[in-house]
Amino acid sequence: MTASRAAVLRLLGTSERPLTHQDVVDSLVGEPWNRSTLYRNLMDLADSGIAHRTVIGGLARFELAGRANSCIEHPHFVCTACGEVSHLEKASVRVDGSGLPDCVTGGEFEVQLRGRCDACHGAAIATA
């Protein structure tokens, strides 16, 4: 395993939240690896099943696979004004699979709710 891949793996292992490519670049700013190398490492870890890649709020986020309370296990709320992502860990979404194409039934579901967060909603009311 390369030193850069080991560093990315350690970072994912110690993070309490899924990381974007930019998060990884910022966290490893003093290291000799460029953005492209770090991105390839993230993608290789995801392709090999060591990490999980999910797109939340328009950004790919990476976390170690098999982690308890993984992002693939709960829906998310994405603020359309500020981009803040909230984990809806206590929310559950039931999807009735009847009528779905066969190619969907073996895949994963990722649920995202969009709207304004409480802070942005309050700010919009205050300026109205």
Please check whether residue 71 is in contact with residue 56, taking contact to mean a CB–CB distance below 8 angstroms.
Answer: yes
Q: What is the pLDDT of residue 35?
A: 94
Q: What is the pLDDT of residue 75?
A: 80
Which helix (DSSP H) or strand (DSSP E) does residue 16 occupy?
Answer: none
Q: What is the pLDDT of residue 11?
A: 95
Q: Does residue 8 carry a pLDDT above 60?
A: yes
Please check whether residue 75 is in contact with residue 93, taking contact to mean a CB–CB distance below 8 angstroms.
Answer: yes
What is the average pLDDT across 101-127?
A: 76
Q: What is the pLDDT of residue 94?
A: 75
pLDDT, tens digit, 9 for 90 and up, residues 64-105: 887 655 666 678 888 888 877 777 778 777 777 677 777 766
pLDDT, tens digit, 9 for 90 and up, residues 15-71: 888 889 999 999 998 888 899 999 999 999 999 999 988 887 788 889 888 765 566
CATH, domain range 3-64: 1.10.10.10
Which percentage of the chain shows pLDDT scores above 90?
32
For residue 92, what are its two tokens?
């559950």
What is the 3-class SS of 67-126, one letter each residue? CCCCHHHCCEEEECCCCCEEECCCCCCCCCCCCCCHHHHCCCCCCEEEECCHHHHHHHHH
Across the strands, what pairs with 112?
76
